């Protein structure tokens, strides 16, 4: 459709892949829970940013994604919004809520994990959506206790999460979304094998990878994690 492609050009969005869903122009356009739309308004998110316009509908159609966009373009909410929508949908259908996490976000540093978890709490407020932070510096038993008590999302660094999973049996059966945030930095820090190890303990999750830059190592990683990936890049096209 030429209207959609000129819209993407206007928004500086470039997509590659089969049957890429159309971008959305507002948060209420793709069936998000009312409470989540309300939380977005309260947070001052009046309109989706360009990366969110394309990533949210693509993610909500359960496709695996490789996304590159500048720092500050709103990538965090672009994966948190579909995750929160998914989790509250699953939990509202279940009779029991304590069946293990539904999503995992890996980020390269403790600080980044803290930021992601903070935003997740703000956007998921009042919904059946609890988070566990799995990073160094906080006591492991407390992190385990929190997971045991029932959470939807784990946000962690790869090393610490592996450490926790080796010491404690966490049921990962229901993890259907796996996010690698700042994947370029994850690879630079040598987290590739640990991220792969965590991925291999999941059963065919939707994979979403985010990066400020796209280089061959990032694309290689993407190819080893998912098939039929949609590649989305926003902003500077000569990256």
User: H or E segment at 80?
Assistant: helix 75-93
Residue nearest to Mg ion (CB): 75
123 contacts ligand ADP (rule: CB under 6 A):
no
Q: Are 180 and 106 in contact (CB under 8 A)?
A: yes
108 contacts Mg ion (rule: CB under 5 A):
no
Which range of residues in 1-9, 47-55, 81-89, 160-168 is near ligand ADP by CB under 6 A? 47-55
Question: Binding ligand ADP by CB under 6 A: which of 13, 15, 33, 45?
Answer: 45
Among 118, 93, 114, 90, CA closest to 103: 90
63 contacts Mg ion (rule: CB under 5 A):
no
Q: Is 142 helix (H, G, I), strand (E, B) or coil?
A: helix
Helix-helix angle 50-60:2-11, to 10 degrees:
130
Nearer to ligand ADP, 49 or 206 (CB): 49
Q: CA 32, CA 137: separation in Å to the nearest integer?
A: 35
Question: Binding ligand ADP by CB under 6 A: which of 1, 18, 34, 72?
Answer: 72
DSSP line for 214-231: --HHHHHHHHHH-SSPEE
183 contacts Mg ion (rule: CB under 5 A):
no
Question: Binding ligand ADP by CB under 6 A: which of 8, 63, 75, 86?
Answer: 75
Question: Binding ligand ADP by CB under 6 A: which of 71, 169, 200, 216?
Answer: 71
79 contacts ligand ADP (rule: CB under 6 A):
no
Among 119, 80, 126, 69, CA closest to 102: 80
Provide φ and ψ at 130, rounded to 5°: -115, 150
Which range of residues in 72-80, 152-160, 162-170, 195-203 is near ligand ADP by CB under 6 A? 72-80
Q: How many residues bind ligand ADP (CB under 6 A)?
A: 14
Question: Binding ligand ADP by CB under 6 A: which of 23, 33, 48, 101?
Answer: 48
Q: CA 206, CA 63: separation in Å to the nearest integer?
A: 6
Q: Are 180 and 217 in contact (CB under 8 A)?
A: no
75 contacts Mg ion (rule: CB under 5 A):
yes
82 token code pair: 């579909």
Binding site for ligand ADP (CB under 6 A): 44-45, 47-49, 52, 69, 71-77
Binding site for Mg ion (CB under 5 A): 75
């Amino acid at each position: 459709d030429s209207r959609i492609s000129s819209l993407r050009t206007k928004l500086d969005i470039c997509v590659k892949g089969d049957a890429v869903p159309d971008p959305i122009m507002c948060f209420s356009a793709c069936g998000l829970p009312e409470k989540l739309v309300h939380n977005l308004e309260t947070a001052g998110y009046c309109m989706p940013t360009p990366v969110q316009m394309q990533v949210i509908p693509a993610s909500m159609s359960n496709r695996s994604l490789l996304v590159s966009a500048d720092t500050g373009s709103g990538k965090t909410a672009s994966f948190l919004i579909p995750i929160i929508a998914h989790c509250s949908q699953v939990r509202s259908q279940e009779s029991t809520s304590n069946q293990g996490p539904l999503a995992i976000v890996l980020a390269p540093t403790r600080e980044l994990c803290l930021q992601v978890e903070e935003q997740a709490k703000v956007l998921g407020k009042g919904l059946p959506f609890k988070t566990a932070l799995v990073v160094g510096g906080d006591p492991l038993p407390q992190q385990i206790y929190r997971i045991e008590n029932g959470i939807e999302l784990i946000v962690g660094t790869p090393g610490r999460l592996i450490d926790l999973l080796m010491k404690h049996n966490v049921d990962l059966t229901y993890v259907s979304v796996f996010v690698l945030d700042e994947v370029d930095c994850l690879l630079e820090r040598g987290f590739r094998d640990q991220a792969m190890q965590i991925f291999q303990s999941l059963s065919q999750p939707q994979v979403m990878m985010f990066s400020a830059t796209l280089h061959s190592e990032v694309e290689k990683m993407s190819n080893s994690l998912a098939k039929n990936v949609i590649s989305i890049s926003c902003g500077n096209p000569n990256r």
